[in-house]
Structure 1
Amino acid sequence: MKALPFRAASMSNPSLHTKKSLPAPDFSGNFDLFFTSSTLIPNSLSTAISNAVDTGNAHRNLYKILAANSLSSSDARGFFPDQSDRESRCGTLWSSFLRDPLNDEPLDIGLYDLREVDGSSSSLQRKTSDVDMDQPSPRPVRLSPGLVAGALVHGLGDMIVDSFGEFIIHRVWCDFSEEGTLMEVFGGHFALQVFFGDIYVERGFADVAEHRLDFWGVRSKRTPD
């Protein structure tokens, strides 16, 4: 899986920005997420972004693809409460690709200790040693402000005995459309280890599942939770 080209948020079309200022990133609400390996994203577009070739137009084209498919073809969905609710409410992450191997149900993943940090914070670096997975993705070298959180599976017991992970998201590009609509592309990383009970081994499944995903994202058009 290709690692995300983590860079500070870029802007294009300066003439529009002189008329209307771009807002600061807001990491609350519903987001539709797409794995960077998604077949919806042309290889030529991924290469242009990775190589920083005309990134303004490349990110604009990426936004158009993600926004057009957000309601029907996203790989995952995330919800992050606003700052006033984060003390009492967890975020959530859902994906049909993250499933319990025994009952084939999607994992109920919670995001806790949500914190917004600036781009210079070491919290935005991927803590691969904490998650203890093999073959870590390259660490980002320059970041825009973002949101970091711990990740876990709800409902621990005899079936799922433990879990831990991390979730990172930040805004990588933003601009206004010709109609004045704010367009934003987000990028991030998710890693999770899930430890299963003895019944999984007895039925031929591994006792540990490891998930590591890089993604792009846009604000969801779905009804808020």
Structure 2
Amino acid sequence: MKATIRIMEPKIESRSKNIIKIPKLDVKRSTKRHIRDHENIPSVPSSTTGLIITIPPAKLIKRGHEIESGEESTLMAVEERPSKRARKVVAFDNLKYESDDLTLTSSSPNTTRKPKTTMRPRNAGKFHPTMPATPGCSYSGLFDIYAMDHQDLCHIYRPEGSQEPQYENLYDALWSDANTDKCTARISLPTAPYGRKFGTALAPVLCDPISERPYDIELTRISHVNQVFYREHERDCFVTRYNSDVSAAGKLPGVSGKTSVSPLGGRDNGVLDSSGNFNLSRVWGKEDKDGKLMEIFEGHMSLRVRYRKNYERKGYGDGFDIGFAFWAIRTNDAG
């Protein structure tokens, strides 16, 4: 059975409470004109008396329960919308349409508007390391590095009973000619921006066991970091491992990179594979009476080397793995 709605008058009181808007009806009086045969114009009824709107059979819902199509359902009627402005009425034959929106009554679903959420900044809650007291440090140029296993330098660095490191005394000791033989290695770092540039390191202790020629060590993937990271076993190499309250290791910005033995064209140095890390930070800086900047750097360098089979057969083992913490100062011909 099909449910029908018969509209007899333009105004009928509605029994429903909820209202759904439908578009305006803007119908003007039709004027008769000659229609050509090729025009496709839909026909409009000249009279609305007895106008029938057919609705397919469906289950209707009234106050939470279903109404079968056979039951008597409440007819949806037309209701005018209140408005303060004057209404314009256009007559079309025997039916009058108001220029305001017409409304049909029906049940409307409950819609809940979600509250707007404030976006949280990405950097919120992240740790921001403290910048050094002497910004704008340049890490390019030549450096002489001294391993921290020299006991006499350790006593100068922090004498017995001293609460703080004596950087200025250590700087004077590293610059003196008496300690030049304690230099462990010399490194060279490129100018920033680093990009694909690489540095070099030359350490007599890191050499080919047969020829005793120092390896040409490359420093690659160099980048500036806001806080140098040290692993636990690397941190233990520093002199201040027993006095971590004054240690600057891992608390300052600096540069980090990778170490490896440079391949030699056509010459066998016995190296099958090599890898390691390199870190450097400035821990102290001061101008002397002549205005020259005095600086001390701390860092850590590691290198792991695997020998070829012919070196193993000669009794040199499968390689070595070495790492050490160091102090560093700029050489006289530093860039």
* TM-score class, shorter: 0.7 to 0.9
What's the CA shift for 1:89? 2.7
Q: Does the 8 A contact of 1:163 with 1:193 survive in 2?
A: yes
Q: Which structure carries more helix by proportion?
A: 1
| Distance (whole Å) between structure 2 residues aligned to residue 211 and residue 87 of structure 1 | 27
| Distance (whole Å) between structure 1 residues aligned to residue 252 and residue 277 of structure 2 | 18
Shift in CA distance, 111/71, structure 1 to aligned 2, threshold 3 Å: farther
Give the alignment partner of residue 144 of structure 1, picking from 252, 266, 269. 252
TM-score by length of 1: 0.74
What's the CA shift for 1:102? 2.0
| Distance (whole Å) between structure 2 residues aligned to residue 10 and residue 175 of structure 1 | 13
Give the alignment partner of residue 24 of structure 1, picking from 136, 143, 159. 136
One-letter amino acid of the counterpart of residue 75, structure 1: T
Unpaired runs of at least 5, structure 1: 1-7, 12-21, 129-134
Shift in CA distance, 189/94, structure 1 to aligned 2, threshold 3 Å: same
Specify the SS of the correspondent of 2:310: helix
What's the CA shift for 1:40? 5.2
Q: Does the 8 A contact of 1:71 with 1:221 survive in 2?
A: no
Unpaired runs of at least 5, structure 2: 1-129, 242-247
The answer to whether the aligner puts 1:77 opposite 2:181 as a matched pair is: no
Q: Does the 8 A contact of 1:25 with 1:145 survive in 2?
A: no
Provide the residue aligned with 2:163 in structure 1: 53
Provide the residue aligned with 2:318 in structure 1: 207
Provide the residue aligned with 2:208 in structure 1: 100
What's the CA shift for 1:213? 1.1
Q: Does the 8 A contact of 1:116 with 1:147 survive in 2?
A: yes
**After superposition, what is the alpha-carbon deviation per residue over 1:34-87, rounded to whole angstroms, capped at 9, x for unaligned?**
11113551x4324449x87243xx100011111224994322101000114x33
Specify the SS of the correspondent of 1:26: coil
Aligned residues: CA RMSD: 2.9
Specify the SS of the correspondent of 1:45: helix
Give the alignment partner of residue 160 of structure 1, picking from 262, 268, 271. 271
Provide the residue aligned with 2:38 in structure 1: none
| Distance (whole Å) between structure 2 residues aligned to residue 173 and residue 63 of structure 1 | 10
How many residues are matched? 192
| % identical aligned pairs | 26
Shift in CA distance, 23/148, structure 1 to aligned 2, threshold 3 Å: same
The worse-fitting range, judged by mean Cα deviation, of 70-79 and 157-166 is 70-79
Q: Does the 8 A contact of 2:302 with 2:323 survive in 1?
A: yes
Shift in CA distance, 142/208, structure 1 to aligned 2, threshold 3 Å: closer
- Structure (1 or 2) with the larger CA radius of gyration: 2
Q: Which protein, 1 or 2, shows the higher relative CO under an 8 Å CA cutoff with sep ≥ 6?
A: 1
Q: Does the 8 A contact of 2:272 with 2:306 survive in 1?
A: yes
What's the CA shift for 1:88? 4.0
Shift in CA distance, 101/35, structure 1 to aligned 2, threshold 3 Å: same
The worse-fitting range, judged by mean Cα deviation, of 101-110 and 62-71 is 62-71
**After superposition, what is the alpha-carbon deviation per residue over 1:121-167, rounded to whole angstroms, capped at 9, x for unaligned?**
xxx22247xxxxxx654387652110100010011768211100000
What's the CA shift for 1:176? 1.2
The answer to whether the aligner puts 1:37 opposite 2:146 as a matched pair is: no
One-letter amino acid of the counterpart of residue 62, structure 1: L
The worse-fitting range, judged by mean Cα deviation, of 155-164 and 213-222 is 155-164
Give the alignment partner of residue 116 of structure 1, picking from 224, 231, 240. 224
| Distance (whole Å) between structure 1 residues aligned to residue 279 and residue 200 of structure 2 | 13
| Distance (whole Å) between structure 1 residues aligned to residue 172 and residue 251 of structure 2 | 23
Specify the SS of the correspondent of 2:276: strand
Q: Does the 8 A contact of 1:9 with 1:173 survive in 2?
A: no
Q: Does the 8 A contact of 2:280 with 2:298 survive in 1?
A: yes
The answer to whether the aligner puts 1:178 opposite 2:289 as a matched pair is: yes
